[in-house]
Structure 1
Amino acid sequence: MNKDSQPRLSHVVVAASLRADQWRQLNATARAWASASSDAAAGLRDRCQEAFDDVLRLEHCWAYPGERLLIALREAFDRGDAALFSRLARKISAAILSGDYRRDEHVWDTDEEIDRSVLDALPPDIAGTQDKPYFEVLVVTPSDPAQWARSKEEMRRMRRPEDPFHYAAVHAGSFEDAALTVMVNPDVQAVVLVDGFGYASRHDIPDLKEFLSRYIHTRKDEVAPGALSLTLARTIRGYRPELDLYLLSDRSPEALAGSEEAASLRRIFHHVEEPMEIHLSILDGIKDRYETPYFDNLKKYAMRPIGTFHALPIARGKSIFGSNWIRDMGHFYGTNILFAESSATTGGLDSLLEPTGNIKRAQEAVARAFGAKRAYLGTNGTSTSNKIVVQAVCKPGDIVIVDRNCHKSHHYGFVLSGAQPYYVEAFPLTQYSMYGAVPLRTIKQALIDCAAGGKLDRVKVIDMTNCTFDGHMYNPRRVMEECLAIKPDLIFLWDEAWFGFARFNPLHRRRSAMGAAAALTARYRSKAYREEYEAWKAKRGELDPTDAALLDEHPLPDPDKVRIRVYQTNSTHKSMSAFRQGSMMLVWDDDFHHVEGPFEEAFFAHTSTSPNLQLIASLDLARRQMELEGYALTMRMTDLALKIRAAVNNHPLISKYFRVATPEDMVPAEFRESGIKDYGPPHSTWAQAVEAWDRDEFALDPTRLTLICGAAGFDGTQFKGMLAERFDIQINKTSRNSVLVQTNINNTHSDAALLIKALADLSREIESRLSQEGSIGQRVFDDRVKSLMTDVPDLPNFSRFHDAFRDDPAGASNEGHMRPAFFMAYEEDNCEFVKLGSEEVDKRLREGPEMVSANFVIPYPPGFPIMVPGQVITADTIAFMRKLDVKEIHGYHAAQGIKLIKPSSLAGRRAGSTH
């Protein structure tokens, strides 16, 4: 096998996946060598040599299989013992694939034939490890590699039967090797830095620097003398913030511990004078992340013999297991879920509305894990979380610049709070009947228009969806920085319902709200930024918020005035292991002390006094999982999505009828300054892809795959039903000619194979049918494809609020009083209905009076409101509705028609009036 044909480290997004593939390849080649005839053996041995060399490039980054197994494998190869080489390769490959090395000490041994009964005779500190969570500790040390085996054994001997976890050590001797290990090995949960190591790698990995450069930009000549350990600590913290970092230094630990540079360290030790203390500290760090305060206590509560005299008959399950008629409910759900039910907040269960115990500790752990200053748990879904935040930060008369296509919960939040939405439009993707995201230029134009109308002081919030349902990710750092330059106290609400996982993936984190809040906070506090700002201000002069020139430049906020005020909502259940409706509200607000009271009131208003205990516990557990293995899971799901994309788009038959939309398809060129067309080779290197995510205005989340099915003659709804009924594949969202395939931490390679096979089967069926039906059948098929892919309706933009709901009808800003329009519809005398297809509609479009919507009208798909209360209905909205072929349209009933506010009810009405 040509070595140049092997996958380069710089060509993969997840190196752990490359490693597993290489071990599987070695296993297959070794089996072939072991069973080969003498004539073929020599060539297969050469191929084993090449595959073995490929494997060894990265093996120093993992504790398993370790030196003993690799030496045994090398010796078997050198002796020409193909049978033993094959057995050992198979053993290692299987353990890596299954993860058995985390649970079974036997797979670490070189003797494959060891009697399983021997394991039972091992000391309890070893035999019991199969029941304990496993992780790896990276030791970065200047010591001679010849001493590392002894060091590992010494760390192994510190295991105690009472230890709740067990770990193995992996060593690195340089900055580059340590950074590589942290990037490729998701089992690493703690890093011990021993002062004195060097910078450059000791290993021959030609593409190492290119791989590291995606995320790590520290060069050797930029590191101050004696600062390499702390520089590495900051680098690791920036890449994997969840890891525990420890420093062993022969410098004065007392002086180091109080320094700003040591903030990223969990603990500092004076070299190696306390090995057991280091061991206990490592376990204690894992314990802090592993602890789930609410879930742990709920388990204890469930096991207590409690008599319940509160209003929850289902608690303890007696009304179920003693029933003649619903006993099967208990058999289906089991006893634990019933024993863990209660309406009490005593006994350590705590109150979600006034948390002082376990829920309070759980929320603090969520804030730590997700990089927020504060966190609140939501049990009514992110629909409610959005309403809570909107109501907390907005009061009547405040202006909110908001994406018209955001989730309906935001719109209802404006109705509840009395805030005035200023709707801004996302760029359209008409060919897919969907919208993208709102350009920064559009957002800045709204701010400038408000400033020109003397209303900038009333602009309170910028409210955007990140990432969108279809995967469009904003550049939150850029959006917030340029908007804060115009108004330095703006609040940002980022609805990251689909994006909660992003914190735990360095690729996605750069596009997340909390990641941006942390980055901008550090930036604006730095001396370097103050110098940058002063130089920019001296060159530009004072900033005028009404200046249209701001649209074409990158303005900078005043560091003495800027406030970082960011709220993020996430649907934990959508991307993490939480029960449905589990949600989180994350806060990074420099002025939260002004908001805390209203926030609690809004929380009280929307949160049940009887929240589901299982939901709270699942949020606690979701946090634990993500903080301990979120990096591995999110990287794996990203890698799987990229493989699905490649498998579909590169398949000679499938790609005739189905295609996954690329960044080039989904993001117009004007918002892709990098010019990137697709992620990864052969379209781009991963270094280029990461740079594009840093620079471009919008990027496309690779885990959200828009699968175009129109070229196969299927509309989205039809194709979604077919996948479910014929292939047992569930899809969430559709458009006119596409479905959304969303990978998450639950997906496996088997899931991907199921989808690919379904597409291949359907493609073969289409080919077969067209070959039998001849030219007539082909013409019918082509007409169907044309209707889905070419004859698509234009997407309607938001028109304007009727003058009766605007303070300044002649002004450029487009905000409106939606709340009074909404409640006017409560009075039947204020409303009328017109049939969509009637002449009356066309006449009123031509001659008036204007038609004004009385309620929200939301077709699914595309899932955004094409009408809101108080909006003037225009011809493009009517044309879009008439071309819709979807069955589900919230707020519209064909038998009645479009619900309007009567012109007579609007006559003489003052904006803002409730009468």
Structure 2
Amino acid sequence: MKFRFPVVIIDEDFRSENISGSGIRDLAEAIGQEGVEVIGFTSYGDLTAFAQQASRASSFIVSIDDEEFGDGSDGDVEKALAGIRGFIREVRKRNTDIPIFLYGETRTSRHIPNEILRELHGFIHMFEDTPEFVARHIIREARKYLDSLAPPFFDALMDYASDSSYSWHCPGHSGGVAFLKSPVGQMFHQFFGENLLRADVCNAVDELGQLLDHTGPVAASERNAARIFGCDHLFFVTNGTSTSNKVVWHSTVAPGDIVVVDRNCHKSILHSIIMTGAIPVFLMPTRNHYGIIGPIPKSEFDPETIRQKIADNPFARNAVNKKPRILTITQSTYDGVLYNVETIKDILGSTIDTLHFDEAWLPHAAFHSFYRDMHAIGSGRPRSDDTLVFATQSTHKLLAGLSQASQILVQDSKNRKLDTHRFNESYLMHSSTSPQYAIIASCDVAAAMMEAPGGTALVEESILEALDFRRAMRKVDDEFGADDWWFRVWGPDRLAEEGMGDRDDWVIHSGDRWHGFGEIESGFNMLDPIKATIITPGLDVDGSFDDVGIPAAIVSKYLAEHGIIIEKTGLYSFFIMFTIGITKGRWNSMVTELQQFKDDFDNNEPLWRIMPEFAKRFPKYERVGLRDLCSEIHEVYRQYDVARITTDMYLSKIQPAMTPADAWAKMAHRQVERVAIDDLEGRITAMLVTPYPPGIPLLIPGECYNKIIVSYLQFVRDFNGRFPGFETDVHGLVREKVNGEDHYFVDVVKN
């Protein structure tokens, strides 16, 4: 066996000096003599935790001794079987294939119920065969199991990397050999290891197939992933969902086409608009004063509403073809708000040529009934008559892909199928001719990991861990009491005391106020519980500031210095995700570090003591107390009323003066000028303007600056000057030194 997958033995006599213990140790020794590792346990312990060993084992041998059956009465038999039954149930929830053997003295299959027997790969009787014979039988089944694990491309890549073939093709490091010729290369080789470097090959290796024309083991893996994800076609992408989005758009959209787009879409969609020369018509999402992006109201999807938007747009109203070519929706939003996709499909009918759901943050949804109707494509989903449905997913964000691992899923309509040959021309336009094969393998493996029942179990564990974290945070809050402060996790008021509770608790209903998005029609949206936005004190959902506040940027800097890195930070909120890789240890550490922050805040500890690295980089804060710094930044936020500014600027009416492609052409031809932010009102931006947080473009090329956007940029300038180390980052805003001072500019179209 090439990998470390030990045989796991569970026997209370494993270390006992009796005949039963001697027999099981003889078997363990015989297995070891065959070169296979054995691990022995004397009890099941926590069944759920123990069953997770199934991901590390090649097989289980479970003892069932005569003593455990007592006098043979029903009570003794049931007690003896309870542990085995529980263990098998927990293992099979995650893994239907790993071999499980029962090992006993005199008991036979007539003593074991069918519900247990049908899950077994064998019943081993002590002393009837030699340990060596039994060991070889177990190892044969274990090897068959391990040989079946690897999906097609990963299997072929492992074979190639272990074949010791001499490489004359690129990359130039030749399987890592080049690194061995340099001291720093030796460090690189030792850090990443030989397997990764041997597997880094070019597309000249015929036996691995081709990503670019989808042949061989690559094609087999894409078909396998399509089956697992329940779609008609699936394409691996090795340079992220930004590229997946562009592939979809370039296969569908041409210059002058009208496109309907979520206003708070990812910037890659806006890049696609620029590249294709499309005319965008935007659907406007809601937003609360925490800065959390809410759903697009259901009424915005009405075909008549979309027709009116087209009529109101100065460029779309003159388009030759008024039928939109594509509609792109962000599903889910960054903070986990989901749409009922089937409702959207029903509303739109065939009024739009192609539906595209940017599911960068939702690849897990197809594998659990908790998300039914809340994801774009899956097994058994109804088909449109004429509209193709695309979903683009970041395998690396919530599944187990390497960074940049992504995929494109396609569902054919009843009357129209994807022309894969034409689609591949767009795919080639955006794909490297030297794809990273480790990323392809991770797409392959990430899909295989989600095969039922394992994928369902992984997603359910993520949900349960997220709910346990939310419960733990509420418990801490209750213990501190109403007269003290604590952090709050944004979400529905009702939370089940144990388990997953009712899915409907996470569906947004008319009349709900916890979200701050205003009136939302019941059943159209849901919050994904694995996306946890933690609210810090100082601001309420209506945008009113409290007397005391704790800006989230300070909490994030504090946590980073204590080994906890946050996904996204807002004004008074920060965001974490419960991916399939999150453990109890991680989220419990989060809870304890937040408690430590509270203690340090309440004691006004100086930053040199609690954040020494940060204080070293920014000496002006060295002697400042944590509470004092929070108060100072909170007061500036309150002075500028920045929560309302950031909400209003995203919801403000923005005037398009040029198409995005034409404005971009002005920049490419250098027909732009750099203008100070105080002089921006009414000017046409030549580039994307994207505040971080939330990382959603505020303006796209061709749109005009209005008064509230200018006031926000003025706040950014003033705040960044006062609080180095906590700067608000705005992509598109250029900072330059003028007479030794920082000044801010934006590139706009020349008048």
On whether the aligned pair clears a TM of 0.5, the verdict is: yes
State the alpha-carbon separation in 2 of the partners of residues 164 and 390 from structure 1: 50
Pair 1:889–1:319, CA change in 2 (3 A):
same
Does the aligned pair in 1 maintain the 2:656–2:702 contact within 8 Å? no
Give 1:889's aligned residue.
730
CA deviation vs aligned residue, 1:423-474 (integer Å, no higher than 9, x gap)? 22110112x1232221121232642315766977431211111111111111
Give 2:345's aligned residue.
480
Does the aligned pair in 1 maintain the 2:602–2:627 contact within 8 Å? no
Q: Does 1:471 align with 2:306?
A: no
* Residue 768 (structure 1) shift: 3.0
Give 2:473's aligned residue.
648
* Residue 883 (structure 1) shift: 2.6
Does the aligned pair in 2 maintain the 1:467–1:474 contact within 8 Å? yes
Pair 1:165–1:365, CA change in 2 (3 A):
farther
For residues 449-598 of structure 1, the aligned pairs below 5 Å read 449=308, 457-484=322-349, 487-515=350-378, 518-521=380-383, 562-590=385-413, 593=417, 595-598=419-422
CA deviation vs aligned residue, 1:674-699 (integer Å, no higher than 9, x gap)? xxx44424999516437769962211
* Residue 321 (structure 1) shift: 2.1
Give 2:505's aligned residue.
689
Give 2:747's aligned residue.
899
Q: Does 1:359 align with 2:254?
A: no
* Residue 660 (structure 1) shift: 3.5
State the alpha-carbon separation in 2 of the partners of residues 702 and 150 from structure 1: 35
Opposite residue 353 of structure 2, the aligned amino acid is: L
User: 1:320 pairs with 166, 179, 190, which one?
Assistant: 179
Give 2:534's aligned residue.
707
Does the aligned pair in 2 maintain the 1:397–1:458 contact within 8 Å? no
User: 1:769 pairs with 588, 593, 604, which one?
Assistant: 604
CA deviation vs aligned residue, 1:300-349 (integer Å, no higher than 9, x gap)? 11122322222312232221223344211111111111111211433411
For residues 747-762 of structure 1, the aligned pairs below 5 Å read 747-762=582-597
Opposite residue 505 of structure 2, the aligned amino acid is: A
Pair 1:740–1:595, CA change in 2 (3 A):
same
SS at match of 2:524: coil
Give 2:462's aligned residue.
637
* Residue 108 (structure 1) shift: 3.8
Opposite residue 622 of structure 1, the aligned amino acid is: A
Opposite residue 156 of structure 1, the aligned amino acid is: G
Pair 1:153–1:589, CA change in 2 (3 A):
closer
Aligned residues: 601
* Residue 783 (structure 1) shift: 6.9
Q: Does 1:818 align with 2:660?
A: yes
Does the aligned pair in 1 maintain the 2:673–2:748 contact within 8 Å? yes
Q: Choose between structure 1 and 2: higher helix proportion.
A: 1
State the alpha-carbon separation in 2 of the partners of residues 768 and 112 from structure 1: 60
Give 1:92's aligned residue.
44
Does the aligned pair in 2 maintain the 1:802–1:852 contact within 8 Å? no
Opposite residue 873 of structure 1, the aligned amino acid is: Y
Q: Which moved more, 1:152-161 or 1:655-664?
A: 152-161
CA deviation vs aligned residue, 1:169-219 (integer Å, no higher than 9, x gap)? xxxxxxxxxxxxxxxxxxxxxxxxxxxxxxxxxxxxxxxxxxxxxxxxxxx
Give 1:204's aligned residue.
none
User: 1:663 pairs with 491, 513, 529, which one?
Assistant: 491
Opposite residue 571 of structure 2, the aligned amino acid is: R
Pair 1:446–1:327, CA change in 2 (3 A):
same
Q: Which moved more, 1:851-860 or 1:776-785?
A: 776-785
Pair 1:478–1:133, CA change in 2 (3 A):
closer
SS at match of 1:375: strand
Does the aligned pair in 1 maintain the 2:243–2:268 contact within 8 Å? yes
SS at match of 2:333: coil
Give 1:832's aligned residue.
673
CA deviation vs aligned residue, 1:465-501 (integer Å, no higher than 9, x gap)? 11111111111111121111xx445311111111111
Does the aligned pair in 2 maintain the 1:399–1:460 contact within 8 Å? yes
Does the aligned pair in 2 maintain the 1:101–1:108 contact within 8 Å? no
Pair 1:654–1:378, CA change in 2 (3 A):
farther
TM-score by length of 2: 0.72
CA deviation vs aligned residue, 1:147-171 (integer Å, no higher than 9, x gap)? 527954986359994887679xxxx
* Residue 891 (structure 1) shift: 1.4
Opposite residue 301 of structure 2, the aligned amino acid is: I
State the alpha-carbon separation in 1 of the partners of residues 206 and 177 from structure 2: 20
Q: Does 1:716 align with 2:552?
A: yes
User: 2:650 pairs with 779, 787, 797, which one?
Assistant: 797
State the alpha-carbon separation in 1 of the partners of residues 251 and 166 from structure 2: 39
User: 2:292 pairs with 420, 434, 439, which one?
Assistant: 434
Q: Does 1:728 align with 2:566?
A: no
State the alpha-carbon separation in 1 of the partners of residues 200 and 473 from structure 2: 46
State the alpha-carbon separation in 2 of the partners of residues 370 and 164 from structure 1: 31
* Residue 137 (structure 1) shift: 11
Pair 1:98–1:605, CA change in 2 (3 A):
same
Does the aligned pair in 1 maintain the 2:10–2:60 contact within 8 Å? no
* Residue 901 (structure 1) shift: 1.1
State the alpha-carbon separation in 2 of the partners of residues 400 and 471 from structure 1: 24
Give 1:109's aligned residue.
64
Q: Does 1:865 align with 2:718?
A: no
State the alpha-carbon separation in 1 of the partners of residues 185 and 629 from structure 2: 53
State the alpha-carbon separation in 2 of the partners of residues 779 and 150 from structure 1: 63
Pair 1:149–1:495, CA change in 2 (3 A):
closer
State the alpha-carbon separation in 2 of the partners of residues 108 and 762 from structure 1: 49
State the alpha-carbon separation in 1 of the partners of residues 534 and 550 from structure 2: 11
Does the aligned pair in 2 maintain the 1:799–1:871 contact within 8 Å? no
Q: Does 1:608 align with 2:560?
A: no
CA deviation vs aligned residue, 1:333-391 (integer Å, no higher than 9, x gap)? 11111111211433411111112210000100111111111000000011111111111
SS at match of 1:434: coil
* Residue 508 (structure 1) shift: 2.3
Pair 1:684–1:819, CA change in 2 (3 A):
same
Give 1:34's aligned residue.
none
State the alpha-carbon separation in 2 of the partners of residues 868 and 736 from structure 1: 23
Pair 1:888–1:420, CA change in 2 (3 A):
same
* Residue 890 (structure 1) shift: 1.2
Structure 2 runs not aligned, ≥5 long? 1-8, 12-40, 69-90, 101-109, 125-133, 312-316, 510-520, 539-547, 606-624, 720-726, 737-743
User: 2:170 pairs with 311, 327, 344, which one?
Assistant: 311
SS at match of 2:265: coil
SS at match of 1:568: strand
CA deviation vs aligned residue, 1:684-726 (integer Å, no higher than 9, x gap)? 951643776996221111111111124484433332221111x
Does the aligned pair in 1 maintain the 2:44–2:50 contact within 8 Å? no
Structure 1 runs not aligned, ≥5 long? 1-63, 67-88, 114-128, 139-143, 168-282, 525-561, 665-676, 771-775, 806-816, 904-915
RMSD after superposition = 4.0
State the alpha-carbon separation in 2 of the partners of residues 414 and 821 from structure 1: 12
